[in-house]
Amino acid sequence: MESSVLVRVRVAPSPTGDPHVGTAYMSLFNWAYAQKTGGQFVLRIEDTDQARYVEGSEKQIFDLLAWLGLTWDEGPDISGPYAPYRQSERLDTYRPYVDQLIEAGHAYYCWCSSQRLTQMRDEQAKAKLSTTGYDRLCYGKTREERAQLPGFSETPVVRMLIPDDMDLGFVDMIRGQISAPRPDDQVILKADGFPTYHMAVVVDDHLMGITHVVRGEEWISSTPKHILLYQWLGWEVPAWCHMPLLRNTDKSKISKRKNPAARLVWFQEEGYLPEALLNFLQLMGYPPTDDQEVCSFEDFVADFDWAKVNTVGPVFDVKKLDWLNGHYLRALSEDELARRIVDYIETYQADGLSRLLGKRSADWKQVVRQAVPLIAPRLVTLKEALEKVRFLLVDFVAVDDAARAKVAEDAPMVLPLAAEVLESLVDFQASAIQEALVTGLVDEQGLSKKTVFAPIRVAIAGALVSPPLFESMEILGRDESLKRLREFLRCVH
Ligand code: GLU
């Protein structure tokens, strides 16, 4: 069936704060399906909840999805044949459908004030009623009739009249036949004249020709109401697909309040690569079958199949992401990795950088580029790079106390000898530095490698563990390396 129909999918985030990682997760699966089928992917902004609207959130949605490479064929920023793609600009579109439902007797006005509704709910809770929800006080009444009763509000809402024999079951593409609990008489038009999500989503998905509604499993309970609206309006019902919710390691639902990683921008701020995050999100929906955890975006799309989606809420384990990020960092060319590190530092660590830069490091980008092969093997995120190259950029290296104590005894003997060897070295280059130090101090003086190299490393890098020593010295150059050996010697004397 699908081959003859142009697949149109969408993601429909609400601009209510900085974007949730779930927006990227949903976009990824929608996008992959559109790619796989030669279909189209639409971005629609669902901003009918004015109370929760947050300025700037929409731009973050655009920027972060673009950062991930999840490009849309139609959307508020690029328009398209079904524009506008922002619900607040479509308000005139919804009202006639609401009127149509009222006229057909599928919907009715409700003038109950919010105080009355709260009181009704409290009473229902106290009476432990088996069926709760709106008690239909307004149903069948004119405005005048209702105005005689308590708890009347001037501006009505419009509610769906949920039939007693409503069909609560539907077919989900990854879950098969499922059903949801019976809904309340859902509000479809609010007192401010805005449609609720339920009305707007159905009208827009229909008018925009959406063939497959792919969204989070939290919407399963709303789907029967949506199907009812499609049927009442005489429209073809789309296919449904509810993706499992991302979960914390304790299995609770991932939320921005509890987990910083629920904020999509967190991954950018922490220096994760978009490639790694995409791969990680793929694994969330598609657990690997044969430990094939690294999967390129192209392979993911080529093999895309809803049947592979795991319905058990995937656990969002950032350790796995760290591992993937390391993999993708190392898969980049050295030039590209250097470029990304530089971009990251300029965007997120400009203050930290300016604090540590000295007169020697005007060309810090060049130093980063030279240091890439040294730091790449252990790099987990772009954020860590600055700390790892710090000793190559500063004018004075801060020596860690524990490291100083460890080498204090050998340093006064080793460092003058090392300085002497290095002063006369013709070509100040990593392998020559190593060879000269081994020949001059290990072979000729009979010292152990540890005795020789630990004090040199502490003098050069400030710590007992550092990126490769000889390559670091080459980057620093002869003068700076000798200066560090002498400075450290002064402080251990
Ligand atoms: N605006 C809804 C959300 O942000 C979209 C739900 C849907 O895809 O139908 O979750």
Shortest-distance Cα residue to atom 4 of ligand 1: 13
Q: Which long-range contacts (CB under 8 A, 24 or more apart) does 360-366 make?
A: 360/393, 360/395, 360/480, 361/392, 361/393, 361/394, 361/395, 364/393, 365/338
Residue among 29, 203, 219, 237 to mutate when testing ligand 1 (max atoms within 8 A of CB) = 219
How remote is the CA of residue 213 from the centroid of ligand 1, in Å? 10
Tell me the pLDDT tens digit for each residue of 314-343: 888 899 999 999 999 999 999 999 999 999
Query: Distance between CA 401 and CA 405 in Å, rounded?
Result: 6
Whether a cis peptide bond, with omega within 30° of 0, leads into 183 is no
Residue 6 one-letter amino acid = L
How remote is the CA of residue 90 from the centroid of ligand 1, in Å? 17
Q: Are strands 239-243 and 212-216 parallel, antiparallel or unpaired?
A: parallel
Q: Would you say the CB of residue 222 lies under 6 angstroms from ligand 1?
A: no
The H or E element containing residue 452 is helix 449-461
Ligand 1 atom showing the smallest separation from residue 205 Cα? 9
406 CA to centre of own chain: 43
Q: SS3 for 105? A: coil
Among this protein's residues, is 256 annotated catalytic?
A: yes
How remote is the CA of residue 164 from the centroid of ligand 1, in Å? 27
The H or E element containing residue 456 is helix 449-461
Q: Would you say the CB of residue 12 lies under 6 angstroms from ligand 1?
A: yes
Tokens read off for 233: 């309006």
Query: Distance between CA 432 and CA 470 in Å, rounded?
Result: 9
Residues 326 and 279 sit within 8 Å (Cβ to Cβ): no
The H or E element containing residue 318 is helix 318-331
The model carries a pTM of 0.92
Q: SS3 for 86? A: strand
Q: What's the pLDDT at 253?
A: 85
Give Cβ neighbours of residue 190 (< 8 Å, ≥ 6 apart): 157, 196
Residues 268 and 67 sit within 8 Å (Cβ to Cβ): yes
Query: Distance between CA 18 and CA 59 in Å, rounded?
Result: 9
* Radius of gyration of the chain measured on its C-alpha atoms: 32
- Among residues 256, 365, 383, 406, the one annotated as catalytic is 256
The H or E element containing residue 189 is strand 187-189
How remote is the CA of residue 193 from the centroid of ligand 1, in Å? 20
* 434 CB neighbour count, 10 Å cutoff: 17
Residues 122 and 114 sit within 8 Å (Cβ to Cβ): no
Identify any residues that bridge with 171 across adjacent strands, giving them in sequence order: 177
Residues 7 and 212 sit within 8 Å (Cβ to Cβ): yes
Residues 288 and 401 sit within 8 Å (Cβ to Cβ): no
CA end-to-end span of the chain: 83
Q: Is the dihedral of CA 442, 446, 448, 453 positive or negative?
A: negative
Backbone angles phi and psi of 437, in degrees to 5:
-70, -40
Tell me the pLDDT tens digit for each residue of 259-268: 899 999 999 9
The H or E element containing residue 473 is helix 469-476
Q: Would you say the CB of residue 46 lies under 6 angstroms from ligand 1?
A: yes
How remote is the CA of residue 141 from the centroid of ligand 1, in Å? 33
Ligand 1 atom showing the smallest separation from residue 215 Cα? 8
How remote is the CA of residue 73 from the centroid of ligand 1, in Å? 18
Query: Distance between CA 13 and CA 20 in Å, rounded?
Result: 9
Give the relative orientation of helices 385-393 and 469-476 as an angle to the nearest 10 degrees: 50
**CA dist 165 to 24, 182, 474, 480, Å?**
37, 10, 80, 83
Q: Would you say the CB of residue 215 lies under 6 angstroms from ligand 1?
A: yes
Q: SS3 for 263? A: strand
Q: Would you say the CB of residue 15 lies under 6 angstroms from ligand 1?
A: no
Give Cβ neighbours of residue 335 (< 8 Å, ≥ 6 apart): 369
Q: Would you say the CB of residue 201 lies under 6 angstroms from ligand 1?
A: yes
Q: What's the pLDDT at 288?
A: 75
Q: Would you say the CB of residue 196 lies under 6 angstroms from ligand 1?
A: no
The H or E element containing residue 125 is helix 114-126
Residues 174 and 242 sit within 8 Å (Cβ to Cβ): yes
Give Cβ neighbours of residue 290 (< 8 Å, ≥ 6 apart): none
Residues of the chain under the 50 pLDDT cut: 1-2
Q: SS3 for 278? A: helix
Residues 265 and 19 sit within 8 Å (Cβ to Cβ): yes
Q: What's the pLDDT at 286?
A: 86
Give Cβ neighbours of residue 286 (< 8 Å, ≥ 6 apart): 300, 308, 309, 310
> DSSP secondary structure string, 337-350?
HHHHHHHHHHHH-H
* 455 CB neighbour count, 10 Å cutoff: 28
Shortest-distance Cα residue to atom 5 of ligand 1: 12
